[in-house]
Structure 1
Amino acid sequence: MTTTIGRRSRAVLAGCVAALTLTACGGGDSLGGGLQPWRPAAEIAREAPDATRAAGSSRFELEMIHTSTGGPVGDLTTTMRATGTYDFARQIGEGRATSDDSELPFPPQEEIFTNNEVYHRFVGEDRWRKFDLSELVDTPIGQHDPSEQLELLRGVSDDVQEVGTTQLRGAEVREYAITIDPQRLAAAQGVVVKDSLTQAVLQAVEPIPARLFVDSDGRVRRLELTFETKVTDLAAVPELGGMLGDSPMMQEMLQDRVITVEARIEYFDFGVPVTVQEPDPSQVDTSVTIPGMPEIPEIPEIPEIPEIGEIPDLPGLPGGN
C-alpha cells in the first residue's frame, strides 16, 4: 500500500519528522540513598537512561501535542496519547495509541515496535502493517520506541537546576529543570548515526527546555519537553528539503509555518513482564505510510494557463475579412 504526499500532508509531514526526530512504573519507593543527590545534577540526568534500562522493563504513558501555525495552511493541532509496555533488554514493546485530531482523525491503533521497525494496525484489524523508520530517521537504538526518548538526556547541557521533590504514582521523585542541547546530542556517539537525517535536523534546531523527574534509584519517571522550530529551518536541511517539496508554491505555504511539540512520557511498574513478539511474517503487509496517519491522496499540481495571444480576425465576424 503506497501513499504519495500532497501539499497539505507535506506540512503535516514536517511536524511528524520533527516529532519523530526529537521526541516519541512503579512502586512507592522513597528518596533514599540510591539517588545520591549530592552528585552533580547534570551527571544524574545523563546517567538516568542507563539506570532506567537496568530495571529491565516498564510500562509507559506518552502524550504528545503537535501544533503547527502560520501560513495559508491554517492552524493544526493534534494530541496523541499512547500506553503500553517495553522490554529494555530485548528492545521490543507494544502499545495502543489514540488521537483527537478533528481534521485528520486517527482510529485507535495497536503497535509493536522494535528498533527502527514499527508494526501497526487499527483496532479490529487482523493484519499488521510494517513501517521501517530507518529510511526516515536512523538511530542505533530505534526512533519510535520509549527507550529512544531516554536518549534525549545524552544531550543535557551542563546547566541543570534542581527544582525540588514531588510525588509521581506513589513514588517521591526529584524534579530537574534541564536544557537539551541538539548540537551535543547530534555529536553523541551511539545515539545518532553520523550523517543521518536525525543528525542533520538536530543541527538545525534550537536548544530544548525540559523537565526531568528522577526516582531514588536514578530512574526516569517522567520527561517533559517543549520543542519549537520554523519549518523553513527544517526545509533548509538538504536531507529534509526534498521531502517537503521545492516548488515556489510549497515554499510560500511553509514560509511562516511554526511547529511546536509538547511531549510528556512517564515510566512506571518497572520489571513488569513483557511477552510481546514480532508478528508472524504471514500476517504482515509492507507499508510506507506514517504510522497513525491516514492516507492522504496526492493533490495534483494545477497546470499554468498559457497566455492567450491576439485572436485573429475570422471571416464572417465583425472586423473580419
Structure 2
Amino acid sequence: MVVRAAAGVLGAVVVVTSTGCAERGAAADDRPADDHLTTVRQAADLLVRAGTSRTRTTLHTASGGTRVTITGHGRFDYANRRGTLVVTPPDEELGGTGGEPITELLTPGALHMKNRGAGVPDGTWVRVDTTRLADGNLLANGATDPLRAAELLRGAVAVAYEGQERLGGTDVRHYSGTAALAAAARAAARARGGSAGELAAAAEGFGTDVFTFDAWFDREGRLRKVRHRFPDVSVTSTTTLFDFGVPVTVRMPDPADIYTGRIEAVPDDGSGTGARTGHSTS
C-alpha cells in the first residue's frame, strides 16, 4: 500500500540498505538500558531544540523483482516543522520519471511539489494534503522528512547499544532496535508533536505495526543519522542530518501557481507500479 503510494507521487517505485560509512568502535556502555531507550525516544524533541540542519535522504524499495533508489537533499526547520527537499527519482529505464529533480516543500499537513511532470503545467506546483495519504506521507513523497523520521523513534520498544563510531568526522553513539508505529503516534500526541495524525495514518496503512531501526546520536544527543526498515512493504529509508544551525527559508508558492493533486490507488499488476497520481485544479 505504502510502496504503491510512493510510486504514485513520484512516478516510480521507490529502496535499500543504506551505504554505511560509520566506523565501528567499542560496544561497551555502562549506562542503564533505560537511558538508551530515553536517548532514542527523545530524538525529535532535541531536534526541535537544535533548530535547523541540512539533510540527505535515501529511499530504497524492492517490489515485483525491481529495486529502485530515490535520493534527496535539503534543509529543515524543526521548530517550525517545515523545510525543502530536492528529490531525484531513478532513471526512466528503472520505472522513474527520467531522473529530473523534483522540488518539495514540506509543511504541517501539506506537501508541495514542483517539476512533478505527469501533465502538470510547467512552473506550477502540485499540492497534496498529507493527512489523506494512506501512509501519512511517511514515504509517499520519495523521502521521509527528517523530523518525522525522528518522531518515529518515539515508538521505540527495544534498544541495543552498538558502540561508539565516527560519522562524517563526528563522534556518534550507535543504537539499534525495534519500534511500533502506533506507539510512535500515541507518544507524538502526548508530546503534542505535529506528526501524530500522520503517524496514526501510517499505523493503519502499513500491513505491520513493527519496524526496525538504526540510529546515530552525537555527544549533544542530536540525531545524526537514522535508518528505518519496513519489512512488510520492503522499504528502507535513511535520513542523515548535518550542519546544525544553517539558515532555512521556505517560500510558499503563490496560490495561483498551485495545481492541486491527490493520490489514487489502482490495482497492482505485480510489477510494483500499481499506483498513479491523479490531479485536479481547484
> TM-score normalized by structure 2?
0.72
For the pair 1:89 / 2:86, whether they are aligned, the reply is: no
Tell me, yes or no, if the aligned pair for 1:63 and 1:81 is still in contact at 8 Å: yes
Distance 1:109 1:37 in 2: 44
Tell me, yes or no, if the aligned pair for 2:134 and 2:205 is still in contact at 8 Å: no
The match for 1:179 is 178
Return the match for 2:109 from 92, 116, 120: 116
Q: How does 1:193-232 map to 2 (within 5 A)?
A: 193=197, 197-201=201-205, 204-229=207-232
Deviation at 1:46, TM superposition (A): 0.7
Counterpart of 2:159, as a letter, is: V
- Name the SS for the 2:248 alignment partner: coil
Tell me, yes or no, if the aligned pair for 2:71 and 2:89 is still in contact at 8 Å: yes
Counterpart of 1:110, as a letter, is: T
Q: How does 1:25-36 map to 2 (within 5 A)?
A: none
Counterpart of 1:220, as a letter, is: L
Count of aligned pairs between the two proteins:
235
Tell me, yes or no, if the aligned pair for 1:192 and 1:198 is still in contact at 8 Å: no
- Name the SS for the 1:154 alignment partner: helix
Tell me, yes or no, if the aligned pair for 2:127 and 2:260 is still in contact at 8 Å: yes
Deviation at 1:14, TM superposition (A): 5.6
For the pair 1:43 / 2:44, whether they are aligned, the reply is: no
For the pair 1:152 / 2:156, whether they are aligned, the reply is: no
Q: How does 1:279-318 map to 2 (within 5 A)?
A: 279-289=253-263, 296=276
For the pair 1:133 / 2:133, whether they are aligned, the reply is: no
Distance 1:269 1:297 in 2: 34
Tell me, yes or no, if the aligned pair for 2:112 and 2:125 is still in contact at 8 Å: yes
The 1:112/1:53 distance shift into structure 2, 3 A limit, reads same
User: Where does the alignment leave 5 or more consecutive residues of structure 1 unmatched?
Assistant: 1-9, 21-35, 70-74, 230-258, 299-321
User: Where does the alignment leave 5 or more consecutive residues of structure 2 unmatched?
Assistant: 15-29, 190-194, 265-272
The 1:205/1:284 distance shift into structure 2, 3 A limit, reads same
Larger Cα-atom Rg: 1
Distance 2:276 2:238 in 1: 28
Tell me, yes or no, if the aligned pair for 1:192 and 1:199 is still in contact at 8 Å: no
> TM-score normalized by structure 1?
0.63
Tell me, yes or no, if the aligned pair for 1:53 and 1:89 is still in contact at 8 Å: yes
Deviation at 1:146, TM superposition (A): 2.1
The match for 2:60 is 65
- Name the SS for the 2:67 alignment partner: strand
- Name the SS for the 1:100 alignment partner: coil
Deviation at 1:195, TM superposition (A): 11
Deviation at 1:281, TM superposition (A): 1.0
The 1:185/1:297 distance shift into structure 2, 3 A limit, reads closer
Distance 1:171 1:297 in 2: 41
